[in-house]
Structure 1
């Protein structure tokens, strides 16, 4: 069993080891002393169970071999989940620069469990009567080049015979990408395994049983076995039942995420379902002369016992004498449990009981047609199936079920289905499964009001006044009431069970693959594939682009172009946009290239999009005469001779940043140590004001030029056409005439997380109360921080507007009458407007004292009231003019300290300096 370092190593020692290369000589010696004391009392057997790299590090700590220890830490930082392996018969870890032979063999030697097979089944198909499994398999950290030893695969039932199956190697770029490491290439780890079910017969007959698939891959000293695991959300990750004839069926699928095959020879199975006004009728068949089914037992999931229904003999309508026919009636009242329309789904499990006292779960015959039967109160009884072919009975809220889909030649997805649930005619919603972003589409209803259809053009989705493709990821289908206040009442859209085998339904449109697929058996989604090519995706390919291709690009001549990067390719906005517009205004003849992530940025004519981290992106970064960015470029990047690289940055710091976090738990010593190099990449850094300049100098360890020009993005407050821009923005958002605009733009909370980099919406504003108090003459614009994912309740209902995806917040400032924020740097930009600001700081003490420190006393210098409750906030919005007058003196002092220079010439100063440097270098 492998031990986790965090379960053995004290947290403080682990942190000091992590940042040991950045520690002083004195601190390094102190660490070795403290570690020696820990190791003297530690259980050596537990230390030997640490992962290989951790074992090596702590052995080097024990031996006080500081130079080798720092070498291993540096290697691990570059290769966090991979290491080289040497040894033909006895494999061991070989870190470059460290003599492995000088360490105990028990430390460097790899155990079998430390060379696991990473195997994934990415596609399971039924072709010509055989099961075909596509996927990839490799041994972690072992080179995967062609060798003399074959890869093998076989099926085995528990305690049964082993049946070899054909294992054919294929190329798989995905194997390397999914490995999430940059050291090893696993491109030839793909496989195609073909399984003939006939080989699973026993003496020429089908026999029920389950067969596991084992892969055997060569490793030093022999082979290592492994299992093919589930990898995808979608059809490839679901079980599927296939009928083999002679009353047998095969189930190919996953148990506890491991692929397996099951042969099932049912003594009876459900053939069809119909209904009377009051009851569900189920038809069954059993082999003539076989076990006699006598009744059905239906049990509500989670309960015991159940209700029994007798099976009566039926006449065979098809005259097939091989089968006996049976029928049972289940009153709908027996399947009706819910008392409220929106109550959760209640599932029923059905067993077939036999005369000999045995029973089995009821399965359905191939071609079984599902059905839905309406019940009072907006409910329905659904009769359907699942991947293994089990009969499924549900008491559920009425759901939308799709029964027809097709792609048109020009890339439009046509979806048709039925819904008989309550409520007004609904809208169709595409909702992103991770980001919770939404697109709302109109539905077409037939005269019967139960049939709906929708047209989805995934490469042409409207976002404000832009037309963009669907963002990469899974977009789930739902129906929503037109006046819904959020998504809690959404109706999931599902696929009729007998159409499951039509998925995935793929279409290549405008350089991106879209695929209709499913989750939880029948829940529909539209998958939007990546823009990057296969040879550009993943850690290994990105390392190649940085270390192999970029040096080659740098040997090519510079191009007379400006390469812009705004927030990692997410927007056409901020100071880079202002600089672009100044270049255009001056008529400077250069090519304009813009970083675009996932094709999600709408650009003006004459600007060429360059996909983030594509081959073209690296080439543009290496060959453009000018590079303008408002975020870091990574510590791998180095400016080439002749280039002018400008860092415009993107805020005035209230919260402590960079090296100013030293001495706190938030300090990342590795990042701080890299700052001098990172900022040597830039010819100059733009500072917004005199307050920020010394902070940049220290917090970013900036040794070069800092141009205190003001932020180009804030020149928008001085533009002569700002009123015209404001009118366009109001029209784009659809804000009614005469309504005052409240903009709420909070920052994220470090302790409110979905994942390490995705944060929850910490919503403390009572939006329902705000609507009641303000909606007659206000609208409420809500702009989430890009790191926050959750949806905004009430958005789209006339009062609350989710403007998180609006391309440039600076344009929103122009229409804003009152800004609400907290500790976000938007307050420094909006202060240029002179309009009222309210600070919803419900967690001020916790945020300031626990999460982040401040550079100044915010409670004393804030140019507006600090508000604790939603009710106080709503009152302050209604009295914003009075609030502004109350804070006139503090507001003026704030502008004086944080908004100078503010003359509309910041962009001109930055471009002048760029051209001066560019001409000198050119």
Structure 2
């Protein structure tokens, strides 16, 4: 099929530069605003007025305000969009609905601008489950009219019906109201609640009969919802997983089946009366025998041939369907005919099967209720799989031997046990659990014998460097992979036997979240780790309400507690950890509260944790006397007069940041405009050195006291027990005795992304095989990519290359490393406290410096080690470290003097002194 042409939207008529100017209007100067109004007026005067009236509602209003040069009102609408979402607005008027924006007098605008046009209040309906109960089909989901709240004050969906295609017949179906918080969360906006939009639609298939008889036909499901001006109708859309993401076939009677499925994402029911179906399969010598069931024996209903076509190939053959003893019939297909792959690891080869009847009529082959999928082994590690799919079509595949689960259960202790068949290699494999969004991987043990495997997963107690922790939120897919393989293209997916898909979802409630075995692409199973947040705390709408509660909680008395925010709750590490440990050492009479994001920070026993963005997290922000963070905070967080807020930050800047990016392509004026307001919330800001202090003033607009103490996290380099810490770290990482350590810490690149979002990928230019070949006898390589980079270093386990991205405290890694390999990462400034050599793998120096970020100083003339561009150059530098250290000794000393002073190991003590002194003054 040719690629679909992009659909043009009415807003495409607006010049891109004008749209950007409007977007940044709140941050623009008076002169820039006047220029925008002049250019917008000239464009609007000559634009097609009919097209302008077709713009989305808020966009119509914005450009009308621009036409009238109403700056204050335009800024009001822009602020509304940023807070709630561009498609969210209030609806006023029951018979003639119009758009309203708080703070804007909609009556001052032309009626055609604010009047809501047909189609601008669409129905949003989605199925979340499709299941059978007592012979009836139940469609569970939610439906609401966009921008019309469904929060208990508004009417619920009252009507639903099925309409037969090509006929006028309608069959009403029952709609039962249900509370569904997910509807509001899925809407992705912060203005309206749709909590009462949940529904259960109950469909009795018998009502689809005509004159008491089953007739083939397709039925469309439609919902009708009351809304201002008119009753609006819509279809029910699918999800991408589970029973609401796949078609389902159900036998209603012998020779009658109902397929509940989706066409172009919309739900429909199809009644079919197949004249024959495949009931079972078996081996017949070197052939695959398909046994065909024929309901009754009227003349002309028995199929005469089975047609098999290699999908995407030239293969197409016919096999006779012959009668078998007992009144049945069958077709034999030589397995050799289905073995079409040209090599053992070739992609799956699919076949389309069709039954041909007397007279030449044909019909795709479907399977009968009770059909049991299976596999037949063929040479070269391949198998012929006989299975089915959601609509119940017969599926034949020539594929690499796959793992198929046929038994699964949760134990009372929270262990997921999966058992199944796998006739692939019995040795040299590992089982990988891979996150579908963040690409994080975990290697799992498994048992294998006699073509069977058993996997046991305890998702609440996964091993980590810091101790046991739960799986992070998201979908985790299981695959078998050759041990040490760096490419996942030959992964063997773990699937579920096709006849067992109705047994899903399989759920278990863990200590703080729900774990669910579910499926995608019909039979590809995954383990979903739910959010540790309560449903009542999730989504933009509820987060807005929690922020309002935060404002109210700020009026309540403070608790003598320290609330820590470390990397947005991802770790127990860095300067916040150092401050916590110093307070504990001193026996300070304070409660310690650590914010954890998705339970990924492993904290010491006894410390209280609050889940990121939960109600408890907001309350701790509002009522803790001391707040400590090492990252940016949201602009709505406001320090109370009786609160102390310490910003420790987390690096010496090489790359430009904050307001110093203005005038570059990486500048975000809206974000930069918020920096002074955010940073004025901090009582103290720690600086690592005299070089960084003025940059913090210019980049962040920080108005309060800067403590030029050095970073508390770097005190570890001057501790008397640093050698004991290093020995413990080596043991934790299971590093071999006698091996030196290379630490590689590449930073992220703005232009290396997965798609267009904020998922950055590792631009791996390092030849790891050559690295191991030339350095593996003497070194191990610890690979610590930046947290923003999602893809793993696949195949890194306990050999030469070790992925230590999950090791929380990077200063521990500095302590055990003999050489640092980095590029433009701020790790160079911290590692310089060790005095050990550094080599800079700067293969893209000119592009990074001149195009992506820009530097605060001459990096090439200041770097305390060689800058290399290729793996051979990097290897040579490491093998010649004696010469490197000698050549760069003076530059290294100057670098340390500039960026590692203070260097007395007292940063933490000084910061804590100031905190406690402040506390005493508060009484």
- Alpha-carbon shift at residue 277 of structure 1 (Å): 3.4
Structure 2: distance between partners of 1:370 and 1:22: 62
Task: Classify the secondary structure of the residue corresponding to 2:618.
Answer: helix
1:269 is matched with which residue? 277
Picking from 404, 408, 418, the partner of 1:405 is 408
2:212 maps to 1:204: yes
Asked if 2 retains the 8 angstrom alpha-carbon contact of 1:112 and 1:224, the reply is no
Task: Classify the secondary structure of the residue corresponding to 2:729.
Answer: helix
Picking from 345, 358, 382, the partner of 2:348 is 345
Distance 1:93 1:2, change over 3 A: farther
Asked if 1 retains the 8 angstrom alpha-carbon contact of 2:484 and 2:796, the reply is no
Deviations 1:685-711 (A, max 9, x none): 111111111111011011111111110
Deviations 1:341-385 (A, max 9, x none): 110000001000000210000000111111111111111111111
Asked if 1 retains the 8 angstrom alpha-carbon contact of 2:284 and 2:332, the reply is no
- Alpha-carbon shift at residue 391 of structure 1 (Å): 0.4
Asked if 1 retains the 8 angstrom alpha-carbon contact of 2:485 and 2:794, the reply is no
2:3 is matched with which residue? none
Structure 2: distance between partners of 1:852 and 1:310: 69
- Alpha-carbon shift at residue 455 of structure 1 (Å): 1.2
Deviations 1:109-164 (A, max 9, x none): 11121111111100111000000011001111112244467521111121221111
Unaligned runs of 5+ in 1: 317-323
Picking from 305, 317, 326, the partner of 1:295 is 305
Structure 1: distance between partners of 2:82 and 2:501: 45
Deviations 1:856-886 (A, max 9, x none): 1111111111111122112222223321221
1:320 is matched with which residue? none
- Alpha-carbon shift at residue 465 of structure 1 (Å): 4.3
RMSD over aligned CA atoms reads 1.5
Structure 1: distance between partners of 2:570 and 2:157: 46
Deviations 1:9-53 (A, max 9, x none): 222222221111222222211211122222233232222222111
Structure 2: distance between partners of 1:122 and 1:313: 44
1:319 is matched with which residue? none
Task: Classify the secondary structure of the residue corresponding to 2:884.
Answer: helix
2:862 is matched with which residue? 861
1:332 is matched with which residue? 335
- Alpha-carbon shift at residue 797 of structure 1 (Å): 5.0
1:321 is matched with which residue? none
Task: Classify the secondary structure of the residue corresponding to 1:293.
Answer: coil
2:93 maps to 1:83: no
Aligned residues: 912
Structure 2: distance between partners of 1:54 and 1:656: 35
- Alpha-carbon shift at residue 60 of structure 1 (Å): 0.7
- Alpha-carbon shift at residue 2 of structure 1 (Å): 9.6
Farther off after superposition, 29-38 or 538-547:
29-38
TM-score, normalised via structure 1 length: 0.97
2:356 maps to 1:356: no
Task: Classify the secondary structure of the residue corresponding to 1:228.
Answer: coil
- Residues 294-443 of structure 1 correspond to what in structure 2 (within 5 A)? 294-303=304-313, 306-316=316-326, 324-422=327-425, 424-443=427-446
Distance 1:148 1:687, change over 3 A: closer
Task: Classify the secondary structure of the residue corresponding to 1:467.
Answer: coil
Picking from 180, 183, 186, the partner of 2:191 is 183
Distance 1:380 1:305, change over 3 A: closer
Asked if 2 retains the 8 angstrom alpha-carbon contact of 1:486 and 1:792, the reply is no
Structure 1: distance between partners of 2:780 and 2:355: 60
Task: Classify the secondary structure of the residue corresponding to 1:28.
Answer: helix
Task: Classify the secondary structure of the residue corresponding to 1:526.
Answer: strand
Structure 1: distance between partners of 2:172 and 2:816: 70
1:104 is matched with which residue? 110
- Alpha-carbon shift at residue 246 of structure 1 (Å): 3.4
1:909 is matched with which residue? 910
Deviations 1:617-672 (A, max 9, x none): 01111111111001122100111131111111111111111111111222211122
Task: Classify the secondary structure of the residue corresponding to 1:230.
Answer: coil
Structure 2: distance between partners of 1:715 and 1:391: 66
1:758 is matched with which residue? 759
Task: Classify the secondary structure of the residue corresponding to 2:709.
Answer: coil
Structure 1: distance between partners of 2:791 and 2:781: 17
1:920 is matched with which residue? 921
- Alpha-carbon shift at residue 733 of structure 1 (Å): 0.9
Structure 1: distance between partners of 2:201 and 2:762: 46
2:583 maps to 1:583: yes
Structure 2: distance between partners of 1:869 and 1:591: 51
Structure 2: distance between partners of 1:44 and 1:633: 44
2:744 is matched with which residue? 744
Task: Classify the secondary structure of the residue corresponding to 2:815.
Answer: helix
Structure 1: distance between partners of 2:203 and 2:114: 40
Farther off after superposition, 285-294 or 774-783:
285-294
Task: Classify the secondary structure of the residue corresponding to 1:730.
Answer: helix
- Alpha-carbon shift at residue 304 of structure 1 (Å): 5.5
Task: Classify the secondary structure of the residue corresponding to 1:38.
Answer: helix
1:231 is matched with which residue? 239
Structure 2: distance between partners of 1:371 and 1:2: 44
2:132 is matched with which residue? 126
2:179 is matched with which residue? 171
Task: Classify the secondary structure of the residue corresponding to 1:112.
Answer: coil
TM-score, normalised via structure 2 length: 0.97
Farther off after superposition, 851-860 or 34-43:
34-43
Task: Classify the secondary structure of the residue corresponding to 1:125.
Answer: strand
Task: Classify the secondary structure of the residue corresponding to 1:114.
Answer: coil
Structure 1: distance between partners of 2:550 and 2:155: 35
Distance 1:149 1:651, change over 3 A: closer
Structure 1: distance between partners of 2:9 and 2:808: 44
Asked if 1 retains the 8 angstrom alpha-carbon contact of 2:129 and 2:242, the reply is no
Farther off after superposition, 494-503 or 137-146:
137-146
- Alpha-carbon shift at residue 3 of structure 1 (Å): 6.2
- Alpha-carbon shift at residue 7 of structure 1 (Å): 2.1
- Alpha-carbon shift at residue 208 of structure 1 (Å): 1.3
1:219 is matched with which residue? 227
Structure 2: distance between partners of 1:268 and 1:149: 44
Distance 1:423 1:409, change over 3 A: closer
Task: Classify the secondary structure of the residue corresponding to 2:119.
Answer: helix
Farther off after superposition, 246-255 or 397-406:
246-255
Structure 2: distance between partners of 1:246 and 1:183: 51
Structure 2: distance between partners of 1:253 and 1:731: 55
Distance 1:5 1:904, change over 3 A: farther
- Alpha-carbon shift at residue 485 of structure 1 (Å): 3.3
Asked if 2 retains the 8 angstrom alpha-carbon contact of 1:643 and 1:918, the reply is no
- Alpha-carbon shift at residue 233 of structure 1 (Å): 2.0
Structure 1: distance between partners of 2:604 and 2:192: 41
1:151 is matched with which residue? 158
Distance 1:101 1:366, change over 3 A: same
Asked if 2 retains the 8 angstrom alpha-carbon contact of 1:836 and 1:881, the reply is no
Asked if 2 retains the 8 angstrom alpha-carbon contact of 1:135 and 1:190, the reply is yes
